[in-house]
Amino acid sequence: MRPDRHDQILRLLAETGTLHVEEAVGRFAASPATIRRDFNHLAESGLVQRVRGGIRMANEGGMLPFTAREVQHADEKLEIARRASRLLSEGDVIFVDGGTTTLQLAQCLPPVKLRIITNSLTLAAAIESRTAGRGRWEIFLTGGFLFPGSGLLVGPSAQAGIVQYHANWALLSAGGITEAGIFNDNEHVVESERLMIKHADRVAVLADDSKFGHHAMRHIADLDELDVLVTNRQTTTSQKLENQAGLGLRLLYTK
């Protein structure tokens, strides 16, 4: 795998909309067979779609833009983030993904030393604006391709950045939660979220009650891979999860 070339392909694709094998061969001084393998890898990762003779950017599947999702259930998301922030202790290293609920953590991180690893430029900027360079929080960005209009760093380089670290906590958002696990509508970040789970001691999912009982497009993890689920109120689905013997998942409510 060549993360650097993959990221360059994604940057060029964001400018052109489509990219054909012949053009990529000329741009990257690689063989047609190598470019086809690169295209196949990116397509398998969900970042692009194959078209005849090339690739194009993957369709977001009708998912609302980040700015539109950010204002949905905004009060609940802030309260969930406040409750989740109480899980953190002095010196913790934490992964935080780029969801609209985890973004609210920027407003309520506790006044203790933290190292925050994220794939979200939006979150990093929000934390930095709050600290004005004087806070106790150190921010590490994963690197990777900045997906247009999302503020998210994605692709092989982002994934390679995550595996360099080990965290005390992974704080993640979700597009859906059922007894089958947690799901996300944004397929571009699923692999990064899976790696955050793998490289963290404990995992907390932050999700408002509208996410319960609903699948989203891509499965992230089974429930037994999670430690804590923070939400705003009890639902039929959350109650079932609490009653599921041997699951080991702790649910925290803001109400």
Q: What is the pLDDT of residues 109-132, one digit of tens each?
A: 999 999 999 999 999 999 998 876
Candidates 3.50.50.60, 3.30.565.10, 3.30.450.20, 3.40.50.1360; correct CATH number of 66-253? 3.40.50.1360
| Tokens (6 digits) for 221 | 């993890």
DSSP string, 72-134: TTHHHHHHHHHHHHTT--TTEEEEE---TTGGGGGGT--SS-EEEEESBHHHHHHHHHHHTT-
Instruction: Compute how many other C-beta atoms are within 10 angstroms of the C-beta atom of residue 75.
Output: 11
* Domain range list for the chain: 3-57, 66-253
| Tokens (6 digits) for 240 | 């079932």
Res 71: pLDDT: 45
SS3 146: strand
- Does domain 3-57 bear CATH number 3.40.50.10490? no
Q: What is the pLDDT of residues 147-157, one digit of tens each?
A: 877 889 998 89
Q: How sure is the predictor about 92, in pLDDT bands with cuts at 50, 70 and 90?
A: very high
Residues 6+ apart with CB under 8 A from 185: 61, 63, 175, 176, 216, 217, 218
CB 145 within 8 A of CB 158: yes
Res 197: pLDDT: 98
pLDDT over 50 at 98, yes or no: yes
Identity of the residue numbered 112: V
Better-scored residue on pLDDT, 234 or 149: 234
Q: How sure is the predictor about 2, in pLDDT bands with cuts at 50, 70 and 90?
A: low
Identity of the residue numbered 107: Q
CB 55 within 8 A of CB 18: yes
